[in-house]
Amino acid sequence: MQRRSRGINVGLLMLLSQVFHVGINNIPPVTLATLALNVWLFLNPLKPLHYSCISVEKCYQQKDWQRLLLSPLHHADDWHLYFNMVSMLWKGIKLERRLGSRWFGYIITTFSLLTGVVYLLLQFTLAEFMNEPDFRRNCAVGFSGVLFALKVLSNHYCPGGFVNIMGFPVPNRFACWAELIAIHFCTPGTSFAGHLAGILVGLMYTQGPLKKIMETCADPSGYQNHYPDGRAGAYEETHRNYDAYTAGLSEEEQLERALRASLWDRANSVHAITFCPGVCQFLASASVHLLPSRNDTNITTDGLNKVFQKALKFPISKKVWIRISSLVPSF
């Protein structure tokens, strides 16, 4: 296996264009480091592809286990790198922000190793049951197995909706299987077993014992802030101590003060407030006091203040407060 040479690495240039379009500051650290490492090893490979790809013959029979580390980080050409890293860019941004950088880095490391191990088991099993020695010699390289595992995680945390695959709408929970078949038939030369290995590793994490094993093996002091269940990660939300701003006020008093201050600021600059029907419906349901017309789009400041005062007569939870506070600045 040799890298296909090109005069200009168009795929690499397109990848860099995508990264700068998103903005380096908008890419979480582990995702950015993964992209940088793959690009660096593409430009400066540790070994030629023939000595970094993974196969049963090379790894198991010849005991060249370092290929488990090298194969996910090397790519056949610039287009191979481009498609894998663009996929990593979007999956990484979504998952790292959801899971936290430390846990996401742990996942990337574990998946990179496990996809290679599962690939070897699949190829060995096919060679034995089909009596076909070529399966032992099939050599695979690239990050796509890890990406299929991350695809399973992404669909697990966001199961609803559909994705368009070759013009057909496919439910998100089945998207990885549809992509596996579509890529196999539409892109000759891709590793079906490598992609399948990634899906199986992802299912081991979401449906099997892998997540529990990873939590058990992780150092508790090093992963105190991880979010394996998909809660907001440390990169997405910065912890703030809001107690310093409450001045001993209750939640209702804080809400009333914040609403009055916001309305006062707006009233100084405008005489009327454009109020969307969706917000009217929300406030009506929150306060159990319906407005005269939910489709009224021109409500004076005094009228709006009365609605808020009525709403404040009822207990308001933190979730309602967060929702209202996010809507007030948009008036």
Q: Give the pLDDT confidence score for residue 292 in this predicted structure.
A: 43
**pLDDT for the residue 291:** 38
Catalytic-role residue among 55, 101, 144, 287: 144
pLDDT reported for residue 132:
86
In this structure, are residues 75 and 2 in contact, taking their beta carbons and an 8 Å threshold? Answer: no
Residue 299, classed as helix, strand or coil, is: strand
pLDDT reported for residue 228:
60
DSSP per position, 23-49? -GGGS-HHHHHHHHHHHHHHHS-SS-G
Q: Give residue 243's pLDDT.
A: 42
Nearest by Cα to 223 from 109, 114, 85: 109
Q: Which two tokens stand for residue 148?
A: 């299929």
Is 5 one of the catalytic residues? no
What's the confidence (pLDDT) of residue 299? 44
Closest CA to 145 of 210, 219, 88, 214: 88
pTM: 0.66
For the question of residue 144 being annotated catalytic, the response is yes
For residue 173, the model assigns a pLDDT of 83
Q: How many CB atoms lie within 10 A of CB 298?
A: 9
Among residues 74, 80, 195, 226, the one annotated as catalytic is 195
Pairing of strands 272-274, 298-300: antiparallel
How confident is the model at residue 256, as a pLDDT? Answer: 57
Task: State the SS3 of the chain.
Answer: CCCCCCCCCHHHHHHHHHHHHHCHHHCCHHHHHHHHHHHHHHHCCCCCHHHCCECHHHHHHCCCCCHHHHHHHCCCCHHHHHHHHHHHHHHHHHHHHHHCHHHHHHHHHHHHHHHHHHHHHHHHHHHHHCCCCHHHHCCECCCHHHHHHHHHHHHHHCCCCEEEECCEEEEHHHHHHHHHHHHHHHCCCCCHHHHHHHHHHHHHHHCCCHHHHHHHHCCCCCCCCCCCCCCCCCCCCCCCCHHHHCCCCCHHHHHHHHHHHHHHHHHHHCCEEECCHHHHHHHHHHHCCCCCCCCCCEEEHHHHHHHHHHHCCCCCCHHHHHHHHHHHHHC
Burial of 261 per CB tally in 10 Å (0-12, 13-18, 19+): exposed
Give the pLDDT of the chain (331 residues) as one tens digit per residue. Answer: 555 555 578 999 999 999 999 999 999 999 999 999 999 999 999 988 889 999 999 998 888 999 999 999 999 999 999 999 999 999 999 999 999 999 999 999 999 999 999 999 999 999 989 888 888 988 999 999 999 999 999 999 887 788 888 888 888 888 889 899 988 888 877 889 999 999 999 999 999 999 999 999 986 554 545 556 665 544 444 434 434 344 555 555 555 555 555 555 444 443 333 333 343 344 434 433 333 444 444 444 455 445 445 544 444 444 444 544 444 444 3
